[in-house]
Amino acid sequence: MTRPRFRSSIPPQRRSFQAGITDRLTSSWTSSDMTVNQSLIGKLKPMRARSRDFARNSEYGRKFFSLIQTNMVGHAGFSLKFDCRRPDGTVDKVDSARVLEAFKRWAKRGQCEVTGKLSWVQIQKLIATMTARDGEMLIQFVEGPTRGIHRFQLKLIPGHLLDEDLHRELPGGGVIRMGVEFDPDMKPVAYHIKDGGPRSDIDGPTAAQKHIRVPAREILHLFVPEELNQWRGVPWAFAGLRGARHLDQFEESALVAANAGASKMGFFFKKEMDGMPSNPADLADEASGDEQPEFLSDFEPGTFGVLPDGYDMKAFDPAYPNDVFDPFTKAVARKMATGLLTSYHSLTGDLTQVNFSSIRSGTLDDREHWKLLQGWEVGDALEPIVEAWLARALLYDTDLRQLPFTKFDKFNAPVFQGRRWDWVDPKADMAAEKEAVALKIKSRAQVIRERGGDPEQVWTEIEAEEQRLGPVAQPPPQPGQQPSAADDDDDDDEAA
């Protein structure tokens, strides 16, 4: 007799990527594979508008963009020196100093930028903040006899003037995508800038009907690419904007509720003989013919009043604010800070739940991120600007035009140094650096550079100090420290 076979209710397990399965729980999860360029079409303009609103009207947004300007650029901007070298590899200090002095003359307010309002340091700050807020910006190289001492100036163009709605196919295989003209290999050829006429600053860029075609060799299109062959830049806060919006709406609603909760109110109502409230219309008719009762409207501590006969009072006391507000806002702010690629305590200033280890770890991670962005600004913006400037300065500067243009590669040797930060634990970190130098796994020059200094400048200052004041005295030994061999010899001599 064969026994009946029962089918198991447990579905068989199959080896597969769970993230690719579409079932009842994941049916609303997107499964369309879109490139970053497809996602940008139609979405860049609202993203940019919301990012600007975040920067202007949100406390967190103002702090976020302040962190970018403070940590990427700092108060003094990127330090610059030129490392011009001879064919044998030695540093040509004379030519390096000449090129640097010429650049300093051009970097002054009124020389380096077309409006005459910005200095070189202010341009660096705007590159960081405008690119972060809008996702991109453009810098045009403008030449001419009236363009400063070196006939070369910069024109800063906000990203919204590059027409994201302009798409066109061109003869020969070229295309225009979101205002950028590409050749068949998708190399940028030109940029189509909106021209709204003399009232564009009043009517806004949407009123522009004409475009100015600017060759790519005259434009720096600055943005941090997220994917390969990306046409336009994305605002840096894109992953945190929804959380910031939700948090702002919740805080506004909580503020209104707290305001209502602080406004204590009460209502008097007349009761019928059976204890049920009467009809408000009947009360109005009765009140018009009878003498109005005297109600209590002002209260003082420790006093008790008497209600009119037949009336009762019902208090309106909303229970808000409550204990949910603080943990909820912190949870949303933490998630928002993660999307903004910064630490929670840096964004909010909330240090209530941090200790030394956690704040050190978060701070060091933040600093590595800022150094990454500093490298982007140096490589994509500052070095190309210096290269374009030097080509004109060798022709028009009163000092540099004496140098041979054929040695352009020798003079085109800028070295930028971004700002650095003080140690989180100065005593322990200094001891670690000292030990690393003693073990010869790190040089003194590397220690100086990691702190944002220029080794040559530091050593020159130390040499000048010692020439004027004498050799720097050694610090006195600390309590419990063993005396040096020299001290022992001195003691022996005195005993003799």
pLDDT number for residue 349: 87
Q: Which stretches of 180-293 are assigned E, i.e. beta strand?
A: 180-182, 188-195, 210-215, 219-222, 265-270
The rounded distance, in Å, linking the Cα atoms of 422 and 424 is 6
Pairing mode, if any, of strands 414-417 and 265-270?
unpaired
pLDDT number for residue 306: 67
Q: Quick one: which of 133, 12, 14, 13 has its CA closest to 62?
A: 133
- 215-248: burial string, b at 16+ Cβ within 10 Å, e else: ebebbbbbbbeeeeeebbbbbbbbebbebbeebb
- State the first-to-last Cα distance of the chain, in angstroms, to the nearest integer: 116
CB contact at 8 A, 409 and 403:
no
pLDDT number for residue 411: 96
DSSP 342: S
For range 22-42, the mean pLDDT: 85
- Which pairs count as long-range contacts for 25-30, CB under 8 Å and 24+ apart, including other chains? none
| pLDDT level of residue 496 (50, 70, 90 thresholds) | very low
For range 339-355, the mean pLDDT: 87
- List, in order, residues 6 or more apart from 240 with CB less than 8 Å away: 336, 337, 338, 339, 340
pLDDT number for residue 482: 52
Reduce the DSSP state of residue 473 to 3 states and report it: coil
- Burial label for 257, CB within 10 Å (0-12, 13-18, 19+), is middle
**Angle subtended at Cα 315 by Cα 309 and Cα 320, rounded to the nearest 5 degrees:** 175
**326 has a pLDDT exceeding 50:** yes
- The 10s digit of each residue's pLDDT in 432-486 is 888 888 888 889 888 888 777 788 888 888 888 888 887 665 555 555 455 544 4
Instruction: Tell me the torsion sign for CA atoms 39, 42, 48, 54.
Output: negative
**56 has a pLDDT exceeding 80:** yes
**277 has a pLDDT exceeding 50:** yes
**Displacement of CA 54 from its chain's centroid (Å):** 12
For range 73-87, the mean pLDDT: 93
pLDDT number for residue 313: 72
Amino acid at residue number 66? S
The residue that leads in pLDDT, 83 or 12, is: 83
Enter the tokens of residue 182: 């590409």
pLDDT number for residue 21: 83
For range 293-314, the mean pLDDT: 66
Lowest-pLDDT range of 174-183, 217-226, 251-260: 251-260
pLDDT number for residue 320: 67
**207 has a pLDDT exceeding 50:** yes
CB contact at 8 A, 120 and 126:
no
Q: What is the pTM of this model?
A: 0.79
CB contact at 8 A, 126 and 222:
no
**Displacement of CA 262 from its chain's centroid (Å):** 37
Enter the tokens of residue 265: 């109110």
The rounded distance, in Å, linking the Cα atoms of 464 and 466 is 5
For range 389-416, the mean pLDDT: 95
Backbone angles phi, psi at 198, to 5 degrees: -70, -15
| pLDDT level of residue 220 (50, 70, 90 thresholds) | very high
Enter the tokens of residue 131: 């690119």
- The 10s digit of each residue's pLDDT in 152-177 is 999 999 999 999 999 999 999 999 99
| pLDDT level of residue 33 (50, 70, 90 thresholds) | confident
The residue that leads in pLDDT, 453 or 413, is: 413
pLDDT number for residue 459: 85
- What residue spans define the domains of the chain? 38-162+217-231+352-420, 265-288+305-316, 422-470
- The 10s digit of each residue's pLDDT in 231-261 is 999 999 999 999 999 999 888 888 887 777 7
Q: Rounded mean pLDDT of the chain?
A: 84
pLDDT number for residue 113: 96
For range 312-325, the mean pLDDT: 71
Q: Quick one: which of 162, 178, 154, 146 has its CA closest to 214?
A: 162
Enter the tokens of residue 415: 């070295």
The rounded distance, in Å, linking the Cα atoms of 100 and 81 is 6
The rounded distance, in Å, linking the Cα atoms of 412 and 15 is 57
- Helix (H), strand (E) at residue 155: strand 152-158
**75 has a pLDDT exceeding 50:** yes
pLDDT number for residue 494: 44
